[in-house]
Copies of this chain bind each other. A is one copy, B any other.
Amino acid sequence: MQNSGPAPASGNAPPRRGRGRPRAFDREAALTEAMHLFWRKGFAATAISELTAAMGIGAPSLYAAFGSKEELYTEALRHYRERYEAQVWGNFAAAPTARAAVEALLTDTAVALTQVCAPEAARGCMVTLSAVGGEGHADLGACVQAARALGFERVVARLSRAAAEGEFDASVDISALARFVMTVQGGLSLQARDGASRAELEAVARLTMAGWDARVAD
């Protein structure tokens, strides 16, 4: 039952082909296709037959390589985060001030959510919009919820540091401000899902920063 793949990613310097017949498909490419499908349709509404068709493999290959539908979803989620996280959080982490970090977060989110990668690509963040928790898969739900909580914690940490460095005074409610930022950031995914353009989302980011400036002394 447990994964017995050929030491899936233990390093990668020695490709370390196992003994038997080699896998005939690119595991990462197949995972990307699965990610796209889960992203667009969600967990429950995506059938194994759709996955195998999109991944270009048979069902036994899918189960041999990924274990189960749940494990495949978990890996697809990890793949998604590894692929897109830097796009949204990279400038946030590098910004010199908390204000610049939050502005970068919202602007980069607006850009990331509106770049069309595929003709019928999913719109909105896979993590933000995932409803897998309510669908009766508590473990997967906890997984995406933890991913969402991480974003909030990052903002809280950055704001705490800014407060310690005197970027704004101690009267600012850091938790409330962080939640405000994450509320907008999440809302951007909902807007993107309903077809909002990049310019429209960037305007939302600007208005949010106006709210920031109204509350935080520069």
Contacts of A190 in B (CB 8 A): 128, 148, 183, 186-187, 189-190
Please report which residues of chain A, range 93-149, place their CB below 8 angstroms from some CB of chain B when the two chains form the complex.
122, 128-129, 131, 134-136, 145, 148-149
Known: A135-B41, A184-B184, A214-B210. A176 touches B203 (CB 8 A): yes
Residues of B with C-beta under 8 A to A203:
173, 176, 179-180
Chain B: minimal CB distance from A109 (Å):
11
Interface pair A134/B148, CB less than 8 Å apart: no
| A182 to B145 CA separation, bound complex (whole angstroms) | 23
* Distance between Cα atoms of A78 and B155 in the complex (Å): 38
A191 in contact (CB, < 8 A): yes
Residue from B44, B149, B211 within 8 A of A44 (CB atoms): B44
Sample of 26 A–B contacts (CB below 8 Å): A41-B135, A42-B42, A44-B45, A45-B134, A45-B136, A122-B134, A128-B190, A149-B194, A175-B200, A176-B200, A176-B203, A177-B207, A179-B196, A179-B200, A179-B203, A180-B203, A180-B204, A186-B186, A186-B187, A186-B190, A189-B190, A190-B190, A208-B211, A210-B211, A210-B214, A211-B212
Chain A residues within 8 Å of B, Cβ to Cβ? 40-42, 44-45, 122, 128-129, 131, 134-136, 145, 148-149, 173, 175-177, 179-180, 182-191, 194, 196, 200, 203-204, 207-208, 210-215
CA distance A128 to B189 in the complex (A): 11
Contact, CB under 8 Å: B131 / A131: yes
Is there an interface contact between B184 and A183, defined as CB atoms closer than 8 Å?
yes
Closest to A152 in B: B194
Question: A54 CA to B208 CA in the complex, in Å?
Answer: 43
In the complex, are the beta carbons of A180 and B208 less than 8 A apart? Answer: yes
A210 to B214, CA, bound (A): 6
Contacts of A207 in B (CB 8 A): 176-177, 180, 211, 215
